[in-house]
Chains A and B, each alone.
Chain A
Amino acid sequence: MAIPDPRLLVAFNRFGLGPRPGDFARTSDPREAILAELNAPQSALLADPALQRTPLILQAVYADEDRKKQERDRLAQANLARLGMPAPNVAALIETPPAAPPTPAAMSAPAMTGAPAAIAAPAMTPQVPVEQQIFRAEATARFARACAAPIGFVERLVAFWSNHFCISLAKSNIGRACAGAFEREAIRPYVTGRFADMLRAVEQHPGMLNFLDNAQSIGPNSKAGQNRKRGLNENLAREILELHTMGVGSGYSQTDVTQLAQVLTGWTIVGREGKLGEPGAFAFNPNAHEPGTATLLGRVYAQDGVAQGEAALADIARQGATAAHIAKKIARHFVADDPDPALVARLAKLFRDSEGDLGALAHALVMDEAAWSALATKIRNPWEIVVASQRAFNRPVADPGPALNAMNLLGMPLWQPGGPNGFSDDTAAWASPEGMKMRLELAAQFARQTKDAPAPAALVDDILGPTVSPQTREAVTRAESREQAFALLIMSPEFQRR
């Protein structure tokens, strides 16, 4: 048997989502395989008939909220009439129906068959909120894509950028409903495109405008500001500078934050009445926009309307600090917690010289020998370990429940980071005592549910590769049962680290 190129391990583990059985044998040139996936047209796009555009999703949420409110009002009035007294907390009664115990029928039913219909008629399934149904459909599609990817490099890029520009579904029903659409619409189309375009798409997406409160931000001197005595919210502007582009401590001032916040006033979400356009879509509301010129990072922006903010974002994307911030972050994600400074410098220069061409940046990372020769010191994050396990065992993903549950338990609930800085990319954050204990418990559980998998010895070659340490090979092949062998394989350093 020909010895596979040890760089296959780097290709699949560091750059990808782990091999499936047979992948090593199918792949002759590891670097070419990554580039082929990267260069495939529209390889990052995710189109699925079960998944809707954000405006339609938010319209379903609006309709569901209206229906609940009507029901609350109706019950409250009925109670008042019946009891002749003020109603108790009726809302709580309606919104938290008692959870039904799982039944075999419910478990064998395909998880998401009702999703598109439910968007059209959310009243049909009141037990599962519409935003929850949408979330499950989005998660299903995302896992399916990750498991089917040839290498997984493009999906890793999607996840990297999605975490860089994260929103959280814990924010609100809107956030919960459109977290998946946010990634499909604002991240995926630009993963091999231009950073400035991704930045604009992200900051104009209803998910982000809701998550960082810009939808409610009002210029103090705008018509709405004058009328309603409400004002500026700097949240989005600060995180754009601190997290999305230049990075903390990179030379912008509080004045720059405030100026950017003023520039972005009026960037909002169309409400259910549709006064500004299609309900649930992005809109520029001139009545909320702070009038006049703004000065940001030494430049003057005199444009009217939405063009002012777009021009400001385009300039921020070109800042040297942005290039350095992004280069460091992508090298940290893929290569090492403390990456080779020369590698970071090369990536930063490429980012600047190409004016933020993200396809070129990804290409440069793959072509850089430093990204291949570094030792595998990072540990797969929870999403990566869950997907890599599914790929290694060819586990179908019809029901995303177990995978989502595993991510919850490992501290990385999908699209639900603790803050706008996203999930940690530090090895120490994931290789924690509690994290490792939980990984072991989940690996044991996963292994117990694995059947019809190849013999453990064959799987060692197929998944960990022929360069696996003798200790790991021995631990797996001398396990007392297949289940134990599979759990040890998943928990082995060669599978956990990348």
Chain B
Amino acid sequence: MLLCETPKLSRRALLTAGGALYAWAHIPSFARAADARDPRLVVMILRGALDGLSALAPIGDPDYAALHGELALQWAGAHPALALNSFFGLNPAMPNFARLYGAKQAIAVHACATNYRERSHFDGQDVLESGMPGPGQVQSGWLNRAIAALPKGERVAERGGLAVGATPPLVLRGAAPILGWAPSGLTAPTDDLTARLMDLYSHRDPALAAALRAGIDADHMATKNGMDGIKPGGDIALAMRKAAEGAARLISADDGPRVAALAFDGWDTHVNEGGATGRLAQLLGGLDGAIAAFETEMGPRWKDTVIVAATEFGRTVHINGTTGTDHGTGTVAFLAGGALNGGRVIADWPGLKTADLYENRDLKPTTDLRAVLKGLLADQFGLSADALGRTVFPDTLGVKPMNGLLAA
């Protein structure tokens, strides 16, 4: 019996099996059939603060190239940005998003943010996910409250939400029923966590640093020799795609949940962020692959689907001393899905001159992210502005749902 014998299986096989005991690895099977419109909504939380200026670059802004330095995207060069229009160039790691944009199934909203104006990840994610005016106020999220606000017996309310990951993201926690599922490949620690811990040990505890370094090196060797199926730290793009594929299969089924929430880590790019290639580009490639996986796996339901990928805040306009960016404010949100009235960048561009920046350092937010989210909820699920402004996003009656995001 697994639980009390000295392990004889490989460590990772056991980790996976142990994970199964917590809750998930079990995919319930749902039936699938095609009929009339049956909306789906997927929310991806990008934890760590996405650099919107490297994901969707305002190349047409005369100040951009100088401010963003070696991270700046360009129209030319070995890795040219993908032009969404004459002003905005998409990171070349996102070809699928560009393709969907061309097919009018993708929208980017730039210079947007929630109402949160400090720079703490935890609090910023709290506001983004809870939908409350400030951090730390509730243990439920706006997506769950949106499900709960629907009439009883309504299909979306009936089926509840799908939370991908070991614990449900806050955005989907709450009174409405949720199904939990996690792909086993998500269990390895990220390279970023490992790097941060190695940095701490190197300053504070050389003995633990040496031991951990040796352990990680041994694991890498084992991986190179093909002794182990999954890379240590996980191939981040692969993990993101696996999560998306599994989630898509579950929510595309006729009797599956209509709503899903996923959270992807790793966007806190203080050091060696990279631009068209590098660390951020890898993550964006993972996000792009996850969106493409939804497109493929949703099948005939893609036409009813909307995905929104949002982060707690943006990053500084200037690059810092370690070829990265620090915590900022305004950033980009990505929308994709067959239900969209797409092929648009929605932005009231504030400009990048010092006087135009928020606190002289950040992209100034000119679009309230909550208006976008409310617009999606209103058009996908028919929630009223009143319900959205009182219970889903409390105290936001003044933030009008954005109209026209969905195809008529």
Residues of A within 8 A of B (CB): 101-104, 107, 128-129, 132, 135-136, 139, 169-170, 176, 379, 399-402, 404-406, 408-409, 413-414, 416, 431-438, 440-441, 443-445, 448-452, 455-456, 469, 471-472, 475, 478-485, 487-488, 491-493, 496-497
How near does chain A come to B204, taking the closest CB pair, in angstroms? 5
Given contacts A169-B4, A437-B216, A472-B200, 4 further A-B contacts (CB under 8 A): A101-B26, A402-B18, A475-B196, A479-B268
Where chain A touches its partner, the secondary structure class is helix
Interface pair A455/B189, CB less than 8 Å apart: no
Which one, A409, A438, A455, contacts B122 given CB within 8 A?
A455
Interface pair A435/B121, CB less than 8 Å apart: no
Which residues of B have CB within 8 Å of A485? 122
Interface pair A483/B265, CB less than 8 Å apart: yes
Interface pair A488/B196, CB less than 8 Å apart: yes
Which one, B7, B23, B136, B194, contacts A107 given CB within 8 A?
B23
Nearest neighbor of B7 in chain A, beta-carbon distance? A408
Which residues of B have CB within 8 Å of A400? 3
Interface pair B7/A409, CB less than 8 Å apart: yes
Q: In the complex, what distance in Å separates the CA atom of A483 from the CA atom of B28?
A: 27
8 residue pairs bridging A and B, Cβ less than 8 Å apart:
A102-B25, A405-B3, A406-B18, A440-B212, A469-B204, A471-B203, A488-B196, A493-B208
Interface residues in B191-208 by Cβ distance below 8 A to A read 192-194, 196-197, 199-201, 203-205, 207-208
Interface residues in B166-209 by Cβ distance below 8 A to A read 166-168, 173, 187-190, 192-194, 196-197, 199-201, 203-205, 207-208
Which residues of B have CB within 8 Å of A478? 121
The bracket for how many chain B residues form the interface is 35 or more
Most buried by B among A101, A440, A482: A440
Which residues of B have CB within 8 Å of A432? 211, 215
Interface residues in B19-72 by Cβ distance below 8 A to A read 19-23, 25-26, 28, 47-49
Interface pair A170/B48, CB less than 8 Å apart: no
Nearest neighbor of A416 in chain B, beta-carbon distance? B6
Q: In the complex, what distance in Å separates the CA atom of A148 from the CA atom of B403?
A: 54
Q: In the complex, what distance in Å separates the CA atom of A479 from the CA atom of B192?
A: 10
Which one, A169, A405, A443, A488, contacts B21 given CB within 8 A?
A405
Q: In the complex, what distance in Å separates the CA atom of A8 from the CA atom of B204?
A: 21
Q: In the complex, what distance in Å separates the CA atom of A456 from the CA atom of B23?
A: 25
Which one, A129, A449, A484, A492, contacts B22 given CB within 8 A?
A449
Interface pair A409/B136, CB less than 8 Å apart: no
Question: Is B2 in contact with chain A by the CB < 8 A criterion?
Answer: yes
Interface pair B196/A456, CB less than 8 Å apart: no
Question: Is B271 in contact with chain A by the CB < 8 A criterion?
Answer: no
Q: In the complex, what distance in Å separates the CA atom of A485 from the CA atom of B214?
A: 23
Question: Is B15 in contact with chain A by the CB < 8 A criterion?
Answer: yes
Question: Is B5 in contact with chain A by the CB < 8 A criterion?
Answer: yes
Which residues of B have CB within 8 Å of A413? 4-6
Nearest neighbor of B3 in chain A, beta-carbon distance? A404
Which residues of A have CB within 8 Å of B408? none
Interface pair A488/B200, CB less than 8 Å apart: yes
Residues of B within 8 A of A (CB): 1-7, 11, 14-15, 18-23, 25-26, 28, 47-49, 121-122, 125, 136, 139, 165-168, 173, 187-190, 192-194, 196-197, 199-201, 203-205, 207-208, 211-219, 232, 263, 265-268
Q: In the complex, what distance in Å separates the CA atom of A435 from the CA atom of B212?
A: 8
Interface pair B212/A480, CB less than 8 Å apart: no
Closest 7 pairs (CB-CB, A-B)? A437-B215, A480-B268, A433-B215, A480-B48, A433-B214, A444-B189, A448-B166
Interface pair B189/A479, CB less than 8 Å apart: no
Nearest neighbor of A168 in chain B, beta-carbon distance? B6
Which residues of B have CB within 8 Å of A408? 3-7, 14
Which residues of B have CB within 8 Å of A493? 200-201, 204-205, 208
How near does chain B come to A200, taking the closest CB pair, in angstroms? 29
Interface pair B204/A471, CB less than 8 Å apart: yes
How near does chain A come to B8, taking the closest CB pair, in angstroms? 10
Interface pair B167/A484, CB less than 8 Å apart: no
Which residues of B have CB within 8 Å of A452? 139
Q: In the complex, what distance in Å separates the CA atom of A400 from the CA atom of B18?
A: 12
Most buried by A among B3, B11, B28, B213: B3
Interface pair B267/A132, CB less than 8 Å apart: no
How near does chain A come to B216, taking the closest CB pair, in angstroms? 6
Which residues of B have CB within 8 Å of A170? 5-6
Which residues of A have CB within 8 Å of B200? 471-472, 475, 488, 491-493
Nearest neighbor of B180 in chain A, beta-carbon distance? A104
Which one, B5, B7, B193, B215, contacts A436 given CB within 8 A?
B215
Nearest neighbor of B11 in chain A, beta-carbon distance? A409
Interface pair A409/B204, CB less than 8 Å apart: no
Interface pair B121/A480, CB less than 8 Å apart: yes
Which residues of B have CB within 8 Å of A440? 189, 193-194, 197, 212
Given contacts A102-B25, A493-B205, A496-B208, contact A481 B48 (CB under 8 A): yes
Which residues of B have CB within 8 Å of A492? 200, 204
Interface pair A405/B49, CB less than 8 Å apart: no
How near does chain A come to B47, taking the closest CB pair, in angstroms? 4
Q: In the complex, what distance in Å separates the CA atom of A437 from the CA atom of B197?
A: 11
Which residues of A have CB within 8 Å of B204? 469, 471-472, 492-493
Which residues of B have CB within 8 Å of A481? 47-48, 121-122, 125, 263, 265
Given contacts A405-B18, A441-B189, contact A434 B215 (CB under 8 A): yes
